[in-house]
Amino acid sequence: MNFEEEIKLLIKSKYPVVFVETIDEEHTVRQISSAANSLGIVFYRWSVTQGLQFEMNENSFYHTSSPAMMLKTALDIVDSGARAVFILKDFHKFLNDAVLLRFFKDIIAKIKDTAVTIVIIGGEYGVPEEIKPYVSRITGGYPDDREIIYEINKIAQEFKNSKVKFQMDLSPVELTRLVKTLKGLSILQIRSVINRCVISDARLSGHDMPEIEKFKKEIFDKEGCLEYYGSEIPSNIAGFENLKKWIAQRKNSVFSGTAALPPRVPEAMPTAEDSTLPPPKGVLLLGVQGCGKSLAAKVIAGELGIALYRLDLNRLYSKYIGETEENLRKALKTVEMLSPVCLWIDEIEKIFASSSGEIDGGVSQRVLGTFLTWMQERKDRNFLAATSNNINGLPAEFLRKGRFDEIFFADLPEVPEREEILRIHLAKRNLNPAEFDLKLLTGNSGGFSGAEIEQAIISALYSSSSANERISTRHVLEQINLTRPLSIIKSEDINFLRNWAKERAILPV
């Protein structure tokens, strides 16, 4: 259910008070007003700076900046028997005043079971205990694809109307990517980042993507437990053929909506709801350390054409009782609002065991409960990519069939994959793989993880540069020979993991 449907349902079910937590006030006000309009109900807007205004009128009712006067006027309107929605910005912040709270409780009593709904909007939820039973709490929606395209076109039009030189240079694929990246930002933030890109070179083009991704990452990193990540293309990961095939089979049926987004004709946009196949829910990637599980999560998002958000487990666990679950609930809610996205939970076993037993007090158990319930009940179109290299930390409920669509096992890379890993990482550092004896290097790196092979190349770059030599096969080989891979140091752990996966016939990646 999207935000507008949700708010409509609450208005129709005669909830006296709804609290909307939102990062985008103006957008939320627009959505609520459009919901009210479509129900044939009038709406009023209030903020302490603007006073009480009827619908989108600029004039406000006489002396209604003060919350008490606004409530008085609202009461008159309620008494007249009108069906109305009152949208009150930050009103909850005034409720620590005893007189005002009393007044508000009287109004609640009056509007219960009537067609009047008070919607409080604010950045963070918080109402006095005694009115909580009357308050339904929801999270404000982010602008969706259609609204983002509308906004981009609007900004383009504004530039064209102004004297500023401006050119929009986006292929359909680039526009799709732009829209995907802008999702999760408020209209204000969208405008600000696009302006920033245009002002630097008078164009909006595919070249602006890194700037936009950086902006978005900054915004997300500042708040909450979700981190925004860029995705990867499949050719940057060696092996993982089964996983790539699995994803490829599902991507067209489910997420084709955004991939085929035509430029400037948002009405024609096909949506994933058109698809008859049920959307995939997610995969669990188990396996040996450094073998590309985290990298695979980025490839999954890239292949599905959706944005990638990582749940930051360090930020999730809070020392304050109750806050950890609240953080998780909030993060899951945000993800629902951002749908469709890829939710990446790296080292998922950590979600179920906070590092210190003392502060736990049952938190892990409750978090597990919240999480399993969410997995069971969610109906969104998000894709969950979870990774783990420690199966002992995973509760049995979690591995039971049905929780994930598929469980994959990432083992140490074999000869062909190792050769490909060498090729990928040499090329990444602007080196020509054809100038290296890949067969020799592959033959000498048995038991190495992808991460260790990459590390050998990086070390070889250092050693060759400090010797003032051009990097060659010899330098890489030296570093390989100097490395004691984890598969030797931790051979018992790795064998245990492998046997475990084998006994359960877990699909190799």
User: Which residues are near ligand ATP by CB under 6 A?
Assistant: 237-239, 287, 289-295, 387, 389, 410, 413, 417, 421, 424, 450-451, 454
Which of residues 33, 47, 60, 294 is near Mg ion by CB under 5 A? 294
Please tell me the count of residues contacting Mg ion according to CB under 5 A.
1
Q: How far is the CB of 292 from ligand ATP (least distance, A)?
A: 3
Burial 114-126 (b: 16+ CB within 10 A, else e): eebbbbbbbeebe
Q: How far is the CB of 289 from ligand ATP (least distance, A)?
A: 4
Residue 464 interacts with, from ligand ATP, Mg ion, none (CB under 5-8 Å by kind): none
Check if the beta carbon of residue 441 is closer than 8 Å to that of residue 473: yes
* Residue 64 lies near Mg ion (rule: CB under 5 A): no
Strand runs labelled E in 255-340: 282-287, 307-311
Q: How far is the CB of 444 from ligand ATP (least distance, A)?
A: 18
Q: How far is the CB of 93 from ligand ATP (least distance, A)?
A: 43
Residue nearest to Mg ion (CB): 294
Residue 451 interacts with, from ligand ATP, Mg ion, none (CB under 5-8 Å by kind): ligand ATP
Signed CA dihedral, 397, 400, 403, 409: sign only: positive
Residue whose C-alpha is closest to residue 334's, from 362, 312, 358:
312
Comparison of 28 and 289: residue with beta carbon closer to ligand ATP: 289
Q: How far is the CB of 372 from ligand ATP (least distance, A)?
A: 23
Comparison of 151 and 417: residue with beta carbon closer to ligand ATP: 417
Q: How far is the CB of 403 from ligand ATP (least distance, A)?
A: 20
Comparison of 190 and 506: residue with beta carbon closer to ligand ATP: 506
Comparison of 233 and 321: residue with beta carbon closer to ligand ATP: 233
Check if the beta carbon of residue 21 is closer than 8 Å to that of residue 123: yes
Comparison of 294 and 487: residue with beta carbon closer to Mg ion: 294
Burial category of 62 from C-beta neighbours within 10 Å (exposed 0-12, middle 13-18, buried 19 and up): exposed
Comparison of 181 and 449: residue with beta carbon closer to ligand ATP: 449
* Residue 388 lies near Mg ion (rule: CB under 5 A): no
Q: How far is the CB of 299 from ligand ATP (least distance, A)?
A: 9
Q: How far is the CB of 288 from Mg ion (least distance, A)?
A: 11
Task: At 273, give phi and psi (nearest 5°).
Answer: -65, -20
Cα end-to-end span (Å), the chain: 34
What angle separates helix 450-466 from helix 473-482, to the nearest 10 degrees? 120
Residue 471 interacts with, from Mg ion, ligand ATP, none (CB under 5-8 Å by kind): none
Which residue's structure tokens are 């304050």? 320
Residue 257 interacts with, from Mg ion, ligand ATP, none (CB under 5-8 Å by kind): none
10 Å Cβ neighbour count for 165?
11
Question: What span, in angstroms and rounded, lies between the C-alpha atoms of 89 and 46?
Answer: 6
DSSP secondary structure code for residue 256 in this structure:
H
Please name every residue paired with 120 in a beta bridge, in sequence order, or none if there are none.
19, 88
Comparison of 198 and 237: residue with beta carbon closer to Mg ion: 237
* Residue 139 lies near Mg ion (rule: CB under 5 A): no
Q: How far is the CB of 219 from ligand ATP (least distance, A)?
A: 24
In sequence order, which ranges of 351-471 are alpha helices (DSSP H)? 363-377, 396-399, 415-428, 438-443, 450-466
Residue 419 interacts with, from Mg ion, ligand ATP, none (CB under 5-8 Å by kind): none
Residue 454 interacts with, from Mg ion, ligand ATP, none (CB under 5-8 Å by kind): ligand ATP
- ∠ at Cα 190 (186, 191), nearest 5°? 120
Question: What span, in angstroms and rounded, lies between the C-alpha atoms of 294 and 179?
Answer: 25
Comparison of 231 and 294: residue with beta carbon closer to Mg ion: 294
Q: Quote helix, strand, coil % in the chain, to nearest 5.
A: 55, 15, 30
3-class DSSP state of 485:
coil
Check if the beta carbon of residue 87 is closer than 8 Å to that of residue 45: yes
Question: What span, in angstroms and rounded, lies between the C-alpha atoms of 285 and 407?
Answer: 6
Comparison of 199 and 415: residue with beta carbon closer to ligand ATP: 415
Comparison of 168 and 301: residue with beta carbon closer to Mg ion: 301
Residue 47 interacts with, from Mg ion, ligand ATP, none (CB under 5-8 Å by kind): none
Q: How far is the CB of 412 from ligand ATP (least distance, A)?
A: 10
- The site for Mg ion (CB under 5 A) is made up of 294
